[in-house]
Amino acid sequence: MSRFSAPIAEQIWDMKYRLKAADGHIEEQTVEDTWRRIARALAQAETDPVAWEDKFYTALDDFKFLPAGRITAGAGTGRSVTLFNCFVMGTVPDSMGGIFDMLKEAALTMQQGGGIGYDFSTIRPKGAAVHGVAADASGPLSFMDVWDAMCRTIMSAGSRRGAMMATMRCDHPDIEDFITAKQDAARLRMFNLSVLVTDPFMDAVHSDGAWDLVFDGKVYRTVQARDLWNRIMRATYDYAEPGVIFIDRINAANNLSYVETIAATNPCGEQPLPPYGACLLGSINLAKLVSDPFTGKATLDKGALDDLVRVAVRMMDNVVDVSRFPLDAQAQEAQAKRRIGLGVTGLADALVLTGLRYGSDEAVAQTDIWMRAVARSAYLASVDLAREKGAFPLFERDAFLASGTMQAMDADVRAAVSEHGIRNALLTSIAPTGTISLYAGNVSSGIEPIFATSYTRKVLQKDGSRTEEVVEDYAVALWRQMHGDTPLPEHVVTAQNLAPMDHVKMQAAAQKWVDSSISKTINCPEDISFDAFKDVYLAAWDMGCKGCTTYRPNDVTGSVLSVSEADPAPQASQGADVVYLADPFDRPDALEGHTYKLKWPGSEHAIYVTINDTVIAGHRRPFEIFINSKNMEHYAWTVALTRMISAVFRRGGDVSFVVEELKAVFDPRGGAWVQGQYIPSILAAIGGVIEQHLVRIGFIGGAGLGLKADPQAVQMAVGGQPASCPSCGAFEMVMIEGCMTCRACGHSKCG
C-alpha cells in the first residue's frame, strides 16, 4: 500500500529523494526506507541514537515534518554534499585579489549544492579612482557579470544549477544601474536582485526628501528619494525585479545583532545571513495536523503541533553536527551560532480544512495564533536543548534578550532563555517548499495560498503512450474523498482571485513570529495601476514585513498559467507532456535535419554541423548532431562533442542549455570576428549554430532565449501556451514563492 496520496508525490520522491547508486541501482524500495535513512543519520548526534531514531522517524512519518530537499536527499547517503540550503558569502573586499578570492569561494559552495547571497555594495562605484594603477573602477555590476558567468558553469549537487542573490544598498552610487541591470534580457540571468532599503531612506520617501548616494564617505551625487523609490517600483512593476529588503528592520530584530551585521540574504530571501552565514531548512506540515476537517469541529491539534515542533528542532540542531560544509568558515559560523530555519507548509490548506478563507481577518488572526505556537514551541525546545547540551557558543544573555525579536517574545519564553540559555541563535523561517510540498501530496506551499485547486498533466510513458493525470491540491482532494462532486466551499480561494492586500496581511501576520524572514510572492493582477502597485510595498513596510516580492504578469515577465476554477480538473496545456528521462529516446528509422557550414577565420577547412530532429508529443526537437571537418586537429574533440551533445538531446527535457554552455566557452588564444560579431571560440560558434537550428524548428523563441535560467525562455510557447520546464519538459512553469517553478517536478530557477 503506497504512502503517497498522489502519483506526482511518488514521482517526486523517485526523481529527487530516493537513494540510488551511481549506476542507477535502487537502494530504497519505499518512502519508509527514506524516512529511516534520514532518522538514523540525524540520530547519530545523540548519546542514545537508537531511541531518538524512532522518534525522528515518527516525526517524518506521513509527511508531518518535511526536512528541506538537501537533507531529505543527502542525509545518510555518505555523499560529499552539504545538508544546508542557504549561504551568504564573505564580505567582498574592494580589491581585485579579494574579489576573485570570493569568486573561488562561491564556486566551491555552489559545487556542493548551496544557493548563495552576496552584497555588492562594498565594491567602489563605476568611475571611481583606482589608486596605484591610474585607472577608473569598472563598478560592482561588472564583477556581478563575472559571478554570473561562473555560476552558469557550475552544476549544483542533485543536478540543480547554481542560484544567487545579489543585494545593493539604496545609497550606493551605482544603485540606479543595479535597479535596471536585468532589463537586458541576456544579463545576470543567474541572479535574483534585491535593494537593501534603510529606515532613513523610507523616511525620505515619505517626506519627499533629498537622498545622497555615497561610497566610502564621499557623496557622489544627490537624488530625490521618492524618485529613486519610483524607479525601483517601476522596474519591479515591469520586470518583477528587483525585490525590496528592509535591511535596518532585519538588523534591529536580529537576535544576534550584538555579534553580526546582515547585508545579504540567500537566493529566495527567507534567510538574511551574516558573512559566511549558513542555515538549514525544514517545514511543519500544518495540513496533516488538522482533525475533523471540513466540519464544525475542525481544529489544528495544538498538542501534536507542540510535540512535532520540539522533535523537529532537535533533528535540525543535529544537522549542524552531521552536515558537511563547502568552506571551513561556513562550518565555524554554523557551529558558533547553530542557526536553524524551521517553518511551515500547508498553511492555506489548513485554513481551508478549518473553514477559513485565506486573507480574511479570521484567517489572519488564526495564522497569528498558529505561528505564535510554532515560535513558542521552537524556542522552548531550544532552551531544553541548551540545558541538555549547552547554549550556542556566542550566546550572551543580556544582549540576546535585548534584540527586537526577543522583546516581542512571550514573558515565559524570555524568562526561560534568561535562566538556561538557548541552543540555537535563530529558529524560524518560511522557506520555498515547492518540491517538498508536491512530495507531501501537493499541499499548499509555505504560507502561500492554494495556487490552483487542480490541473491536468499529460504524461508520456516510456512505451510512447500518453496518460492523463489530475493533480489536485491536498485539501481539495480530501474534500473530493469526503463529498464527491459536491461543489467546493466558498472559502476555497486561489492565488488568482485574491487581492494583493490579502497576501500582505498574511505575510505580516506570519512575520510577527518568524525571527528570520519569509519567502512569499504577492500576486498582482496585470491591470493593477502603478500607484496601487506601489501601495502594496508601502503596506508591507507599514505592517512590519522584512521584505516584499511581487509578481505582475505582463508581456515582459510572462503570464502565470491560467486555470479555471469552475472546472474541477482544468487542462493546463495541450502539450503538457512529462518525458521520463531514465531511458533515452529510441531512434526512428528516418530523421529530418539540416546541415550548416561554419567557416572559422584562420582555419583552412570548414566545419559542417548536421542536426537531425525527431517529433515528440507533437513538437519537433533535436535528436542527434554530427560535426565534421577535414582538419584532423579538430578530430578528437569534434567526435567527443558529437557523442556528448547527441546523448543530451536523446535524454529529452529542455536541452537549450547546451547553447548556453557552448556560447560561454572562450579560447585563451583569442576568438574571431564572424559576420560582424565577436565569437570567443570555435565551440561558441558551434553553440551559435545549434541555437540557430533550435530557433528554426521552433524549439526556442529566438536568439538569446536559450538560456536555461532566462525568464524569457520560459515565456516562449507553441500555440500561446507556456513553455516547457528545463528539467522535466512539462509545460507547467508558474511563478511560485518568487521563482519560476515547475508544478510537475518542482524544478525552480532559484535552485
pLDDT of residue 668: 64
Check 105, 270, 660, 737 and give the catalytic one: 270
Q: Which residues contact 553 (CB under 8 A, 6 or more apart)?
A: 526, 559, 560, 735
Catalytic status, residue 419: no
- Supply the DSSP string of 290-336, one letter for each residue: EESTTSTT-EE-HHHHHHHHHHHHHHHHHHHHH-B-SSHHHHHHHHH
Task: Output the nine-digit C-alpha cell for 396.
Answer: 550572551
Lowest mean pLDDT among 16-20, 151-155, 549-553: 151-155
What does the pLDDT look like over 66-79, one tens digit per residue? 999 999 999 999 98
Mean pLDDT of the chain: 86
pLDDT of residue 708: 39
Amino acid of residue 232 = I
The average pLDDT across 399-426 equals 97
pLDDT of residue 578: 40
Q: Answer whether residue 400 shows pLDDT above 60.
A: yes
Convert 229-249 into a string of H (helix), E (strand) and C (coil).
HHHHHHHHHHHCCCEEEEHHH
Lowest mean pLDDT among 27-31, 70-74, 268-272, 575-579: 575-579
Q: Which residue has the cell 507531501?
A: 440
Check 86, 151, 170, 268 and give the catalytic one: 268
Domain coordinates of the chain in residue numbers?
A: 9-82+278-420, 592-696
Check 255, 266, 318, 523 and give the catalytic one: 266
What does the pLDDT look like over 452-481, one tens digit per residue? 998 877 665 555 566 778 889 999 999 999
Separation between Cα atoms, residue 300 and residue 296, nearest integer Å? 12
Q: Answer whether residue 570 shows pLDDT above 60.
A: no
Lowest mean pLDDT among 84-88, 123-127, 443-447: 84-88
User: With 0-12 CB in 10 A as exposed, 13-18 as middle and 19+ as buried, what is 571?
Assistant: middle
Assign 706 to helix, strand or coil. coil
Q: Which residues contact 126 (CB under 8 A, 6 or more apart)?
A: 136, 137, 138, 139, 140, 141, 142, 173, 174, 177
Catalytic status, residue 255: no
Catalytic status, residue 192: no
Separation between Cα atoms, residue 546 and residue 660, nearest integer Å? 35
The average pLDDT across 83-92 equals 91
Lowest mean pLDDT among 439-443, 559-563, 614-618: 559-563
